[in-house]
């Protein structure tokens, strides 16, 4: 089966790749572009490990086809830090020990960033419901919620 | 090291620095099982049985072989024959032989130039099955007339006359049960059931294997224990163990489920058949749920006698567990743990390991203990309610103390159950007023913890920084705890230690990160290795100072004269010694290999407040408290994390999670939408109290903290639900449907 040529923007960089029409966006990111920070935990949109943003909207990249990336702006975990400077969420996740195995972490960070861009002062309940689509099996979520709230507070203070 | 030594003030132990691998894990750089590529790599897919029990009549691979891009296909015919015991079980589970034994059992595997082609080819492999009668539930599987899963699999302890599906049996106890029961004011007997649950790690199993016709191979794999992977793959494929080199990737959760092999030998077998090309094999989520090891399901009868003032006089337990189509359910460990928190004058335990047409169970966090606790801790609560006793006081009254004989035989060393219960009782959560439809439940839990084969190396670098090589993969921050203990031992900054998870070629045999052993066993072995290196550094200083090495000691990162009689020399720092080591005798390192003794058991107590919606039967967790004895919390944040994570897995087991089978024995919920693990919006914050009763068997007092925390939630939640509603649920999970029916039936 011939592949489709896709031109898109990932983390601000224009990129091109060839996609099998059955490749998910997650497959394209990981296997064609070598961006393996985005993880596959379920392949059915239930775990959120593959969270990325497409034109600013938070999506499960396992539920979108690679060919659908044509002309879009995609942000992944690899684009979250500004060079060597971590995003406050990334720093707060380390500081609060909000990760154990770290496998769900990229997706949760991407999802949390999308939350804080919509709402810079979320309540605990709002964080919990926003992240209800991101499974973490290690932490019981406690330290994740604290890290997100703390990052939000710091970002509000800095703004 | 004596207890008073490990009570001393610490510079690093007990602090909360950033974990050494934090940056990699928040930037997406950390490499997990599926994050690897190799030149000329092939992708594999597995053909799995859709039947719970079926004879494999014929496998036709011709159409798949004809597909462009297909490079190798393997079936059981590609594996060596003549294996016995657990090796045979592992091989049979890796690839079905004459019969498929459960829905999801592998029957063939294919490697191709792309993952799409591999999956297409798998669909072209035609398998002809003759469907056989199957059995799913443990009590059914032991009953007369149940389909026989395997003749002659029973272990030597199984008494004659039982169904062939009963493959393991144990019976033990102490005291005169009848006489002690007669002293009780209340004797109660109840039956309890728990369903199979899955560890539910978010990272599916993934590996890349390469094996040449010379029998030399390499594997990259997400695992809790790469020496186990090496040993098991070698056994299943008939390889020489040392010829296989296994590297552990970063691991996306394991909880016991990644301590064994499932599909790893398939990648090696395919690679060998494809001329040694590397073969990557990644499971889908439904493959994980259908074909890796969930925990056992259990059916348990417990009988207990209690006096009016809350003294437990006697108890009996009869536990039956199915662990899939192979021996190995944790029926014995469930019994060992069930009564461990208590001192009971007379006890009798009976346990059965039973085969059923389900996937081969694997360890799951304190294997067996949660089931046993569910039965015993629920019954204690039921009896306290009947006698009008405070369940906390009854637990304190009967609680095991240091030096007591454990319910399963051995004598406890220094344990902290009493301190744990007292801290629980004193916690503010215990006095929060409850509203309508709300209830509070408490329960205790136990896990042994574990030493296990351990090999650790440390080496001094030229600039005085130190590398530590351990064989226990870092599942939850153990690099941080190792670096803290190394910094403490050497008297150097935490940042000057690099902890590496070494591959199998670099160290002696290591058991996996299981049994809550990483910080205990690798930590203790590392302390031995560092002591060796420190002795060598002291020797180098002594040689320079021309004094006896015995007259040199190590203090604050430097060799110093041991006392005024040793001579007057300024401290020789680790940097100074390292810089010169090439000319003073060569590299300085330390090694330690052992099966560390001095394991310290960990007890915990949980308190949960729930609110039950009387219209829907939905149970909401309002607040949750975990109190557990860590011995010593090396990095308290990651200790709290273990408590919180264990509690939430237990909450899932109690309320949502179960393997659901249809009449054909097919798993009905093999995706996360239907196998529902707790999500953030289900939960409150999980409060923790770290009790520290140091373990005298560890240089810093560590016990191990990973597993106990999953044990109390099952009964604590059932007890809280009973307090809230008056309805006692004795069969987990406490689904809204089940609870609503029980409330209505009252």
- B374 alpha carbon, distance to own chain's centre: 18
Nearest-CA distance B203 → chain A (Å): 5
* Residue-range definition of the domain harbouring residue A37: 4-79
pLDDT band of B3, cuts 50, 70, 90 = very low
* Same-domain pairing of A66 and A121: no
Query: What phi and psi, each to the nearest 5 degrees, are found at residue B26?
Result: -100, -5
Find the residue in A nearest to B24 (Cα): A102
Task: Say yes or no to pLDDT of A159 above 90.
Answer: no
List CB contacts of A127: < 8 A, sequence separation 6 or more: A112, A115, A145, A148, A149, B680
Question: Who has greater pLDDT, A19 or B564?
Answer: A19
Please calculate the CA angle B457-B458-B460 and round it to the nearest 5 degrees.
150
* Same-domain pairing of A73 and A18: yes
Using alpha carbons, list the distances in angstroms from residue B658 to A20, B96, B293, B466. Answer: 37, 25, 13, 46
* Residue B579 three-state SS: helix
* Same-domain pairing of A74 and A92: no
Instruction: Write down the pTM of the prediction.
Output: 0.98
| DSSP letter, residue B428 | G
Mean pLDDT of B696-701: 97
Instruction: Give B273-311 pLDDT, tens digit per residue.
Output: 999 999 999 999 999 999 999 999 999 999 999 999 999
| DSSP letter, residue B408 | T
Instruction: Give B699-743 pLDDT, tens digit per residue.
Output: 999 999 999 999 999 999 999 999 999 999 999 999 999 999 999
CB contact (8 A) between residue A77 and residue B28: yes
Q: Which ranges of B630-728 would DSSP assign to H, the alpha helix? A: 636-655, 713-725
Considering only the beta carbons, identify the residue of A41, A100, A146 that sits closest to B477: A100
Find the residue in B nearest to A139 (Cα): B645
pLDDT band of A112, cuts 50, 70, 90 = very high
- Which residues on chain A are in Cβ contact (under 8 Å) with B21? 102
Say what the pLDDT of residue B2 is.
Answer: 38
Domain final position from A79, A110, A142: A79
* Residue B348 three-state SS: strand
- Which residues on chain A are in Cβ contact (under 8 Å) with B285? 41-44, 46-47
Q: Tell me the residue ranges of DSSP E strands in chain A.
A: 4-10, 13-19, 51-54, 57-60, 73-75
Nearest to B307 by CA among B393, B191, B182, B391: B182
Task: Say yes or no to pLDDT of A158 above 80.
Answer: no
**B679, B690, B710, best to mutate vs chain A, most A CBs in 10 Å:** B679
Mean pLDDT of B650-676: 98
Chain B residues 155-214 with a CB less than 8 Å from chain A: 199-204
Instruction: Give A37-94 pLDDT, tens digit per residue.
Output: 999 999 999 999 999 999 999 999 999 999 999 999 999 999 999 999 999 999 999 9
SS3 per-residue string spanning A86-108: CCHHHHHHHHCCCCCCCCCHHHH
CB contact (8 A) between residue A102 and residue B250: yes
Say what the pLDDT of residue B8 is.
Answer: 61
Find the CATH number of the domain harbouring A137.
1.10.150.120
Instruction: Give B620-652 pLDDT, tens digit per residue.
Output: 999 999 999 999 999 999 999 999 999 999 999
CB contact (8 A) between residue A41 and residue B202: yes
Task: Say yes or no to pLDDT of B499 above 50.
Answer: yes
pLDDT band of B209, cuts 50, 70, 90 = very high
* Same-domain pairing of A104 and A145: yes
- What is the dotted CATH code of the domain comprising B368-449+600-745? 3.30.365.10
Task: Say yes or no to pLDDT of B86 above 70.
Answer: yes
Say what the pLDDT of residue B9 is.
Answer: 86
Task: Say yes or no to pLDDT of B4 above 60.
Answer: no
Instruction: Give B347-379 pLDDT, tens digit per residue.
Output: 999 999 999 999 999 999 999 999 999 999 999
* Order of strands, sheet of B126-131, starting from the edge strand that comes earlier in the sequence: B99-100, B54-60, B126-131
Fold of B3-30+451-594: Aldehyde Oxidoreductase; domain 4 (3.30.365)
Instruction: Give B113-171 pLDDT, tens digit per residue.
Output: 999 999 999 999 999 999 999 999 999 999 999 999 999 999 999 999 999 999 999 99
- Which residues on chain B are in Cβ contact (under 8 Å) with A141? 648, 679-680, 683
CATH 3.30.365.10 residue window(s) in chain B: 3-30+451-594, 368-449+600-745
Q: Which ranges of A19-139 would DSSP assign to H, the alpha helix? A: 25-27, 88-95, 105-118, 124-130
Nearest-CA distance A71 → chain B (Å): 24
- Which residues on chain B are in Cβ contact (under 8 Å) with A129? 680-681
* Residue A58 three-state SS: strand
DSSP assignment of B215-250? S-EEEEE--S-HHHHHHHHHHHHT--GGGEEEEE-B
* Same-domain pairing of A69 and A107: no
Task: Say yes or no to pLDDT of B22 above 90.
Answer: yes
Find the CATH number of the domain harbouring A73.
3.10.20.30
* Order of strands, sheet of B217-221, starting from the edge strand that comes earlier in the sequence: B70-74, B106-112, B42-48, B279-282, B206-211, B217-221, B244-248
- Which residues on chain A are in Cβ contact (under 8 Å) with B248? none
Say what the pLDDT of residue B456 is.
Answer: 98
pLDDT band of B1, cuts 50, 70, 90 = very low
Instruction: Give B391-410 pLDDT, tens digit per residue.
Output: 999 999 999 999 999 999 99
- Which residues on chain B are in Cβ contact (under 8 Å) with A105? 25-26
Q: Could you tell me if B721 and B619 are in contact, meaning their C-beta atoms sit under 8 angstroms apart?
A: yes
**B26, B113, B289, B672, best to mutate vs chain A, most A CBs in 10 Å:** B26
CB contact (8 A) between residue A41 and residue B285: yes
State the complex-level ipTM: 0.98
Please calculate the CA angle B261-B265-B266 and round it to the nearest 5 degrees.
120
CA distance B368 to B322: 11
Answer whether B35 touches A (CB < 8 Å): yes
CB contact (8 A) between residue B202 and residue A136: yes
pLDDT band of B563, cuts 50, 70, 90 = confident
Using alpha carbons, list the distances in angstroms from residue B326 to B138, B237, B243, B296, B504. Answer: 13, 19, 29, 11, 28
Say what the pLDDT of residue B564 is.
Answer: 86
Q: Which ranges of B559-656 would DSSP assign to H, the alpha helix? A: 574-580, 636-655
CA distance A29 to A94: 25
* Residue B210 three-state SS: strand
- Which residues on chain A are in Cβ contact (under 8 Å) with B685? 124, 142, 145-146
The tokens for B500 are 């590496």
């Amino acid at each position: 089966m011939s592949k489709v040529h896709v031109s898109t923007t990932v983390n601000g960089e224009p990129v091109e790749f060839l996609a099998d029409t059955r490749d998910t966006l997650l497959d394209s990111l990981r296997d064609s572009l070598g961006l393996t920070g985005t993880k596959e935990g379920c392949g059915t949109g239930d775990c959120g490990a593959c969270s990325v943003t497409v034109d600013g909207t938070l999506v499960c990249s396992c539920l979108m086809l690679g060919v659908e990336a044509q002309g879009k702006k995609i942000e992944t975990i690899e684009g979250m830090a500004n060079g060597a400077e971590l995003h406050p969420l990334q720093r707060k996740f380390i500081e609060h020990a909000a990760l154990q195995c770290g496998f769900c972490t990229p997706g949760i960070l991407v999802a949390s960033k999308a939350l804080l861009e919509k709402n810079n002062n979320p309540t605990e309940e709002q964080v919990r419901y926003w992240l209800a689509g991101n499974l973490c099996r290690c932490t019981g979520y406690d330290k994740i919620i604290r890290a997100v709230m703390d990052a939000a507070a710091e970002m509000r203070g800095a703004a | 090291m004596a207890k008073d030594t490990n009570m001393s003030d610490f510079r690093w132990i007990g602090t909360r620095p950033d974990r050494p691998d934090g940056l990699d894990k928040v930037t997406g750089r950390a490499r997990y099982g599926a994050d690897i590529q190799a030149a000329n790599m092939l992708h594999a897919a597995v053909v799995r049985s859709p039947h719970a029990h079926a004879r494999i009549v014929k496998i036709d691979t011709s159409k798949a072989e004809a597909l462009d891009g297909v490079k190798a296909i393997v079936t059981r015919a590609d594996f060596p024959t003549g294996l016995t015991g657990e090796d045979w079980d592992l091989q049979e589970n890796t690839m079905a032989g004459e019969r498929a034994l459960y829905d999801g059992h592998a029957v063939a595997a294919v490697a191709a130039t792309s993952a799409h082609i591999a999956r297409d080819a798998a669909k072209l492999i035609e398998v002809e099955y003759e469907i056989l009668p199957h059995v799913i539930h443990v009590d059914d599987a032991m009953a007369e007339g149940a389909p026989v899963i395997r003749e002659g699999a029973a272990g030597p302890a199984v008494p004659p006359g039982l169904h062939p599906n009963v493959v393991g049996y144990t019976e033990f106890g102490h005291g005169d049960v009848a006489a002690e029961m007669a002293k009780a004011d209340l004797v109660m007997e109840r039956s309890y059931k728990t369903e199979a649950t899955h560890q539910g790690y978010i990272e599916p199993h993934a590996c890349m294997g390469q094996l040449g016709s010379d029998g030399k191979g390499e594997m990259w794999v997400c695992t809790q224990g790469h020496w186990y992977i090496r040993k098991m793959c070698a056994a299943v494929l008939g390889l020489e163990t040392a010829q296989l080199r296994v590297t552990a990737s970063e691991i996306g959760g394991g909880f016991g489920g990644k301590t064994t092999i499932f599909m790893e030998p398939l990648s090696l077998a395919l690679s060998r058949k494809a001329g040694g090309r590397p073969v990557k094999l990644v499971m889908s989520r439904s493959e994980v749920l259908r074909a890796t090891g969930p925990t056992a399901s259990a059916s348990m009868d417990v009988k207990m006698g209690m006096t009016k003032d809350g003294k437990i006089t006697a108890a009996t337990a009869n536990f039956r567990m199915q662990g899939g189509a192979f021996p190995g359910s944790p029926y014995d460990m469930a019994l060992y743990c069930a009564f461990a928190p208590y001192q009971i004058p007379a006890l009798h335990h009976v346990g059965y390991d039973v085969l059923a047409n389900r996937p081969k169970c694997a360890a799951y966090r304190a294997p067996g203990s949660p089931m046993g606790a569910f039965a015993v801790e629920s019954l204690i609560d039921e009896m306290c309610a009947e006698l009008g006793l405070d369940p906390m006081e009854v637990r304190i009254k009967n609680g095991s103390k240091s030096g007591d004989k454990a319910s399963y035989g051995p004598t406890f060393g220094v344990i902290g159950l009493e301190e744990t219960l007292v801290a629980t009782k004193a916690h503010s959560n215990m006095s929060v007023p409850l509203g309508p439809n709300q209830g509070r439940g408490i329960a205790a839990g136990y896990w042994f913890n574990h030493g296990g084969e351990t090999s650790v190396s440390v080496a001094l670098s030229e600039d005085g920084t130190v590398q530590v090589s351990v064989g226990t993969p870092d599942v939850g921050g153990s690099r941080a705890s190792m670096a803290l203990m190394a910094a403490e031992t050497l008297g150097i900054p935490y940042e000057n230690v690099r902890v590496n998870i070494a591959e199998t070629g670099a160290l002696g045999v290591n058991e996996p990160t299981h049994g809550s052993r990483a910080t205990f066993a690798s930590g203790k072995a590392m302390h031995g290795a560092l002591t060796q290196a420190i002795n060598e550094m002291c020797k180098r200083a002594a040689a320079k100072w021309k004094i006896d090495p015995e007259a040199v000691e190590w203090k604050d990162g430097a060799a110093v004269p041991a006392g005024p009689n040793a001579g007057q020399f300024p401290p020789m720092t680790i940097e100074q010694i390292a810089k010169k080591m090439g000319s003073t005798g060569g590299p300085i390192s330390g090694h330690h290999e052992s099966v560390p003794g001095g394991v310290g058991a960990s007890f915990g107590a949980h308190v949960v407040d729930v609110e039950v919606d009387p219209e829907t039967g939905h149970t909401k967790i309002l607040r949750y408290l975990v109190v557990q004895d860590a011995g010593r919390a090396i990095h308290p944040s990651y200790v709290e994390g273990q408590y919180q994570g264990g509690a939430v897995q237990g909450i899932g087991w109690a309320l949502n999670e179960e393997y659901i089978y249809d009449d054909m024995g097919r798993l009905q919920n093999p995706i996360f939408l239907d196998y529902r693990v707790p999500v953030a919006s289900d939960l409150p914050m999980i409060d923790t109290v770290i009790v520290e009763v140091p373990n005298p068997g560890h240089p810093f007092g560590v016990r191990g903290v990973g597993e106990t925390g999953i044990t109390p939630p099952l009964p604590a939640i059932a007890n809280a639900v009973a307090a809230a509603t008056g309805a006692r649920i004795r069969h987990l999970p406490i689904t809204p449907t089940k609870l609503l029916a029980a409330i209505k039936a009252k």
